[in-house]
Structure 1
Amino acid sequence: MKKLSFIALVLFSTLSIISCKKFLTVVPKTQMPQNVLFSTEGGFKDALTGAYIQMKESGLYGLAMTQTTMEYLTSSWDVTNNTTEQRIGLFNYADAGVEGSLEGIYAKEYAVIASLNAILGQIDARKDVFTTPGMYETIKSECLAMRAYCHFDVLRLFGPIPVTTDAGNMLPYVTKLSTMPNPKITFDQFKQALLKDLAEAELLVKDIDPITQYSLAQLRSPSQTSVFNPADTYMAYRYLRLNYYAIKGIQARAYLWFNDKDKAYECAKLLIEAKNTDGSPKFRLGTSADMTAQDYVLTAEHIFGLYDFNMYAKFTTNYNGGILKKGTSATTITNQLYGNTGTDIREANLWELITLANQAKCYITKKYKVVEKPTNIAADFKQIPMIRISEMYLIAAEVAPLAEGQAYWATFRQSRNISTSILPTDPLQRSLEVVKEFRKEFYAEGQSFFAYKRINAPKANFLFAPSAATLNYLIPVPKTDAVN
C-alpha cells in the first residue's frame, strides 16, 4: 500500500486498477508528494480537476452510472440471452459478472471519495497558499459537494429502500484518507453525515459563486470584453462544476430520498425560481427548438453537467453501433414508453430507427448524439447531465402542496408538449404518476432505478421489467468490500 504522502494525479494519467481489497485507497500510476502538490493554489485546482476526471470515467458517470449498468437494471436496452447485461436486468446479484459490474462502481465511487479526502485533509492547513479571492471556499465547497454526491449514489444503489430502512446494508461514510477500514454506520448516521457535507458546502459559496450573479451564457464566455471577466477563468463554466445551485439540487434529491418532503420542495422551488439579473430563469426547461438545434441533452436545463470530450466517439460506438438499443418497431418506445401521444417532444425527437451493418433495424436514443467538432462553444453539447431543472419540477410536482404541485406538473408537461393530467390526491399514487415521467425524462441517465427504489415501486409499475425477473432493490455490498 502506498504511503499517504502521495495522491493520484489523474489529471495527467488514469488510475491503475484498484485492488478489490483497497476500495478506500487510491493506488496511482503517477504520483506527486503532497507537500509539493498542495504547496500552491494551482496544485489544489489540478487535484480537484483530477477528481472530476475520475467521475466521468466510463466505469462511473461516463457510462456505467448513466447509460449502461444503471440502465440495464431497468432493462432500458435490448440484451442477449445468458449475458451479464441480461442478468443485471433479472436482478441476479449472485452472478459473477453482475457482481463484477456493481463492484466496479462501488470501488470507483470510493476512489473518487479518497481523492477528495486527500484534498480536504490538506486544504485548511494550507489555506495561506490561496491568492485568488474565493478560490479556497470554492474548491473546498466542490470537494464536499462531490463527496456527498458520490456517497449519496452509493447509498441509493447499495443502501436500504428508504421507506423500509430496517432492512438493507449499512455503509461507510468516509471523511478521511486512511489505510484503516472505515466503519459501516446506520442509515440515519449516513444521512446526517451527507447533509452535513452539503450544508457546509452551501455555506462556503452561497454568497460568492459566480453562477448566482451571471447567466449560463455569460459563464460560458468569459473575456475582457464580456460582462463576466473573472480574475481566474477557473471560476467560469460553473455549470460544469458542483456549484451553489448544484448543491441545492443534491439537497433536493437527498431530502426526497429521506422523505423530508417540505425541505425537498424548498430546495426544488429555489432552483425553479432562480433568476438572472434580467429576470430570466437561471435554468429553463428545454423545448423542441433546442432539439431542432441538435441539443438533445438539453444543456439549458443542466444545473450540473460533466463535459465529455469523448461523447461523439461513445455515441458512434454504443448507439450507432447498436450496442445500446431498444426495440425494432415503434411499439416499444412510442407506445409503451411515451403512450403514443404524437406530440411529446421526446417521443418525436429523441429516437430514431437505424439499420445496422448486418441489416437489422433497431431504435436508438439520440440523447448523446453530438457534432464531433462544433463551430463554437455555444453549439458544443457534449455534457453528461448530472442534475437537471426538469428533475426539480418533478420533485416539486410530487411533494409540494397539491395545488402547487399540480401547477409545476402542468408547466413541466407543457414544456414536453403533452396534455396536462390531474395528479392523484393519494400520495403513493401521486408518486407513481410522477415516476412515470421520471422513466421517460431520464432515459439513459441512470436515474430510473433510483426513482423506483425510492418508493419501493411494485413490478407492475416497473416499465420493461422482464417477466422472468424477481424485482429486488437490495443490492449486496461487494463481498470483497475492504470495510468488512
Structure 2
Amino acid sequence: MKTLKYIIVVLLLPALTNTSCKDYLNVKPKTEMTQEELFSTEGGFKDALNGVYIQMKGTNVYGRDMTMTTIEHLISSWDGDAIISTKVPYKLAHFNYTDVDAERSLSAIYGAEYKIIASINAILDHIDENRFVFRSPGVYETVKAECLAMRAYCHLDILRLFGPIPTDVNTGNKLAYVIHLSKTPNPLLSFAAFQEALLKDLDEAERLVKDIDPIVKNIAPTDAYFANRNLKMNYYAVKALQARAYLWFNNKGKAYECAKMVIDAKDSNGNPMFRLGKLADMSAKDYVLTCEHIFGLHDFALYTKYSSLYANGSLRKGSDNSIINSQLYGNTGTDIREANLWELITLPQSVLQGYVLKKYKVDESGTNFKQIPLLRISEMYMIAIETGQAADAQLLWTTFRSARGLQQNTLPADPVLIQNELLKEYRKEFYAEGQAFFAYKRLNAAQANVLFVPGEATLNYLIPMPKTEAN
C-alpha cells in the first residue's frame, strides 16, 4: 500500500523521473497515513500542501543550494572553499561538471526538485476526485492553484539550471515535465513542449484564484489558512512567475504585461502592494527587504544558517574593499546595498579578514525577517525595464535607482546595452538568492560580463543531466 508521511509528503522520485528502480527512496516515517486517509479531509489537503512548503526549505533546494551555495558557486560568489582546487565550490566555479563531487551536488538539486514535484502531484492526483471534502469557500481553488504554480516554479528552475540556453534551444538537455505520479518513465520534452506545459499550469493557477485570493480582494481572511499570503504562492506570485517564465521564453510582451501588473498592484489604501525597499528598511535591520517579497519562505532556522555559513566566514567575498565596494558596487558611496549589506569580519582562529553578506542576518530569538525570497518586486522592475517601451523603462529605472540610493542616469538606447546594465544589477540585487546565474545564462552572457568568474575558467552554462538519468 502506498503511504505518505503525514504533513511532509515523501514520495518515490523514480516513479516520476527517469531514474532506475534501485534509486527508490526508502523512508520509514514515524507516522504513516494512506493517501486515501490523508486526502479524505480538507485538513489533510492543507497539511499536505504545508508539507510541500516545508520541502521547499530543504538543504538541496531553496533553503541553501538553490539560493545561497551551489547556484552561487557557479558564478564565484564566494571565496573560502571556492579558492581551494580540491573543493567542490572550486570545481563548480570552474564549470568542472565531470568531477564526481560537483556532479553529485548538482544531482542533489535535480532530485530534490523532482521530489517536491512528486509531493505536489500526489495532491493534484486526488484533489478533483475529492473536491467534495472541501467545506470552506475558496480552499479547493487555492490549494489547487498553489500546487499548479509551485509545480511550474520547480520545473522552471530545473529547466533554467539543466536545460538549454534560451537563445539556442536545440543545444542542451531535454527534460521531463511531470504531471502525474507514475512508475512509467516520463517522456523528455522539446523546449517548446516543456514551455507549453509550464505556461498551462500557470494559466490554470491564475484562473483559479484571480477573483478569490484575499491578497487581491484586499480583505482580512476569515480562515487562518489564508493568512500571510506573501509566504504562499498567491495570485501576484503566480503573475510574477509568469513574468519570469515569459522572459525566459523570450516573450517580451507578455513578460512586461505580467511584471507591470504586479508593480502596479495596490492595497486597500491605494499604496503599492509590494514596494521597493529603501534605506529605512535596512536601518531597521530588514536586510532581506521583506517588503519586496511577492513570495518567500519563512525559515525558522535562518539564524542558524547565518551563523554556520556567513558569520564564521565560510561564505565570504574579498578581504578588502576592492572586491565588494569597487568591483561589485562601483564605489558609489550612496548605494544602500553597498553601505549596509556587507561587513568585514576577522575569520575565526585567524588574523585574516573577509567580507560577509548580512542579507540573512537575523536575531536568534525573534521571528522578524526570517524569510528567504523566491520572487521579489525588484525582479519585476528588472523584467519590465528590459521589456518595456523606452519611456516607461526609463521611469521604472529611475524609480529603482532612487530606492537604492543611486544617482539618476539615462538608459542607453541599444537593447543589448540595457541588458548589460541590468546584468550588473542582477549581480548586486540577488546576491545569495540564486538569480544572477540564471540572468547570465538566459542572455548567454560573455565571460567578460560575468563578474568574478575566474579568468582561467571556460564559461559553460550547459550543465549535464545527472548520471542517474543517463540510463
Structure 2-normalised TM-score?
Answer: 0.95
1:55 corresponds in structure 2 to 56
CA distance in structure 2 between the partners assigned to 1:264 and 1:35 by the alignment: 40
Distance 1:307 1:16, change over 3 A: farther
CA distance in structure 2 between the partners assigned to 1:251 and 1:25 by the alignment: 33
Distance 1:133 1:96, change over 3 A: same
1:171 corresponds in structure 2 to 175
CA distance in structure 1 between the partners assigned to 2:225 and 2:26 by the alignment: 27
CA distance in structure 2 between the partners assigned to 1:16 and 1:178 by the alignment: 10
2:443 corresponds in structure 1 to 455
Contact map agreement 2:60 2:112 (CA 8 A) in 1? yes
1:98 aligns with 2:102: yes
2:45 corresponds in structure 1 to 44
Q: CA deviation at 1:454?
A: 0.3
Contact map agreement 1:84 1:98 (CA 8 A) in 2? yes
Query: For 1:335, which of 300, 304, 326 is the aligned residue?
Result: 326
Tell me the SS of whatever aligns to 2:343. Answer: strand
CA distance in structure 1 between the partners assigned to 2:268 and 2:71 by the alignment: 38
1:445 aligns with 2:433: yes
Tell me the SS of whatever aligns to 2:90. Answer: helix
1:389 aligns with 2:377: yes
Tell me the SS of whatever aligns to 1:364. Answer: strand
Contact map agreement 1:283 1:300 (CA 8 A) in 2? yes
Tell me the SS of whatever aligns to 1:32. Answer: strand
CA distance in structure 2 between the partners assigned to 1:16 and 1:253 by the alignment: 29
Contact map agreement 2:240 2:258 (CA 8 A) in 1? yes
CA distance in structure 1 between the partners assigned to 2:452 and 2:59 by the alignment: 25
Query: For 2:131, which of 111, 121, 127 is the aligned residue?
Result: 127
* Alignment deviations for residues 140-167 of structure 1 (CA, whole Å, 9 cap, x no partner): 0000000000000000000000011110
Residue 9 of structure 1 aligns with an amino acid whose one-letter code is: Y
Query: For 2:423, which of 429, 435, 438 is the aligned residue?
Result: 435
- 1:161-310 pair list within 5 angstroms: 161-214=165-218, 228=220, 230-310=221-301
2:78 corresponds in structure 1 to 77
Residue 149 of structure 1 aligns with an amino acid whose one-letter code is: Y
* Alignment deviations for residues 438-460 of structure 1 (CA, whole Å, 9 cap, x no partner): 11000000001100000000000
Residue 371 of structure 1 aligns with an amino acid whose one-letter code is: D
* Alignment deviations for residues 364-389 of structure 1 (CA, whole Å, 9 cap, x no partner): 00000001112xx6xx1000000000
Contact map agreement 2:423 2:439 (CA 8 A) in 1? yes
Distance 1:180 1:26, change over 3 A: farther
Structure 1 stretch 450-459 or stretch 423-432: which is displaced more? 423-432
Residue 60 of structure 2 aligns with an amino acid whose one-letter code is: G
Q: CA deviation at 1:7?
A: 2.9
Distance 1:25 1:428, change over 3 A: farther
Q: CA deviation at 1:424?
A: 2.0
Q: CA deviation at 1:421?
A: 2.3
Distance 1:94 1:100, change over 3 A: same
Cα root mean square deviation, aligned: 1.8
1:418 corresponds in structure 2 to 406
CA distance in structure 2 between the partners assigned to 1:286 and 1:60 by the alignment: 26
Q: CA deviation at 1:479?
A: 1.5
CA distance in structure 2 between the partners assigned to 1:14 and 1:323 by the alignment: 31
1:139 aligns with 2:136: no
2:361 corresponds in structure 1 to 369
Q: CA deviation at 1:179?
A: 1.2
Q: CA deviation at 1:23?
A: 11
2:310 corresponds in structure 1 to 319
Contact map agreement 1:23 1:108 (CA 8 A) in 2? no
2:28 corresponds in structure 1 to 29
Q: CA deviation at 1:9?
A: 3.3
- 1:340-355 pair list within 5 angstroms: 340-355=331-346
Contact map agreement 1:16 1:29 (CA 8 A) in 2? no
Contact map agreement 1:328 1:361 (CA 8 A) in 2? yes
Contact map agreement 2:14 2:23 (CA 8 A) in 1? no
CA distance in structure 1 between the partners assigned to 2:357 and 2:422 by the alignment: 22
* Alignment deviations for residues 405-464 of structure 1 (CA, whole Å, 9 cap, x no partner): 111111101100011222222222211211110110000000011000000000000000
- 1:154-165 pair list within 5 angstroms: 154-165=158-169
Q: CA deviation at 1:43?
A: 0.4
Distance 1:24 1:60, change over 3 A: farther
Task: Return 5+ residue gaps in structure 2 as ranges.
Answer: none
CA distance in structure 1 between the partners assigned to 2:387 and 2:12 by the alignment: 44
Distance 1:286 1:24, change over 3 A: farther
CA distance in structure 1 between the partners assigned to 2:342 and 2:13 by the alignment: 36
Residue 275 of structure 2 aligns with an amino acid whose one-letter code is: R
Distance 1:27 1:274, change over 3 A: farther
* Alignment deviations for residues 215-240 of structure 1 (CA, whole Å, 9 cap, x no partner): xxxxxxxxxxxx72x33201111100
Q: What is the identity percentage for the equivalent residue pairs of Structure 1 and Structure 2?
A: 57
Residue 36 of structure 1 aligns with an amino acid whose one-letter code is: E
Tell me the SS of whatever aligns to 1:319. Answer: helix
Contact map agreement 1:25 1:178 (CA 8 A) in 2? no
